[in-house]
Amino acid sequence: MLDYAINTMPGVVDDITQTIGNTPLIRLSKFAASQHVEATLLAKVEFFNPAGSIKDRPAIAMLNALMASSAFNEKTEIIEASSGNNGVACAWLCAIYGIKLTVCIPEHMSVERQKLIRHYGAHVVTTPKHLGTKGAIDKATALIEQNPAAVGLSQFSNQANPDAHAKSTAQEILRDTNGNVDIVVAGVGTGGTLTGLATSMRAHIPHLEVVAVEPASCPVLSKGHGGVHNIQGLSSGHVPDVLDVSQINQIITVEDNEAIAYAQQVARVEGLAVGISSGAALFAAAQLAQQPSNEGKNIVVILADGAERYFSTPLFAD
């Protein structure tokens, strides 16, 4: 039995940040049967985090690192670029810590994300759709340069991002599977999840296959160029600094409609209402599970967020 030093949930917590992590790992038996596969599919369901997504983990790690540094004081403001989930995670944490926050977000990201960020008291600045996430990053950089009190968390280049997953997400998976994992599948946004999982889990599972998922219309990793896509949370249109591409064994591209279809399918057979990027990861996991060479293997797939952030998107089209 492997023994990992990760937190377990106490009976009473002093604040909601103590409920981050320890999300369930769920065997997708009905979904696997619907895909006619013999591999075991295990879903790490990250919408169980308090603000509803996997981004709670790196957000608190990056904030704690900032607050412990000399760059932080009581007048510090944070300006951060996000496709949405990191913005929401930062917004609820900044509400708790009493920090002023501005989130720069591409205008086509779901209105639910934007409203949640504002609901927590943060300011939202939208950037043009055609500029993608890079446009939001550039806008955040410009605003920081104009404000002496402002700093950025820089999730695309902040080492605390992958470290958070190495220290928590990966350790939880190892604990819950007793280290019995053959393949791990995750979508690539900042690359923090995939890098953290790979570096930490491979120390215990040298044969681990790491599979990256990206939009077919924005194949930065597989073909070297960007493009417009509607799988919110994946592919910023560039290779992020925190992504260690040497850790990736395989890249699977997913069409927008495939991601939506698989998110809908898992809701209807497993009762898991997940977001579009999770649908993309499920599509990739199913493709792997259908390969004869993967029969009997354990495949862990990361489901980054829930469906509630997509009511205004084609995920809920009639």
Give the residue numbers marked as catalytic.
55, 277
- CA–CA dist 139, 104 (Å, integer): 7
Say which amino acid occupies 34.
Answer: S
- CA–CA dist 133, 183 (Å, integer): 29
- CA–CA dist 148, 163 (Å, integer): 28
- Which segments of the chain are extended strands (E)? 25-27, 40-45, 77-81, 100-106, 123-127, 150-151, 183-187, 209-215, 250-254, 298-303
Other CB atoms closer than 10 Å to residue 314's CB: what's the count?
12
* Three-state SS annotation for 259-316: HHHHHHHHHHHHCCCECHHHHHHHHHHHHHHCCHHHCCCEEEEEECEEHHHHCCCHHH
- CA–CA dist 185, 300 (Å, integer): 6
Residue 84 and residue 113 in contact, taking contact as beta carbons nearer than 8 Å: yes
DSSP state of 53: B
Burial 148-180 (b: 16+ CB within 10 A, else e): eebbbbbbbebebbbbbbbbbbbbbbbbbbeee
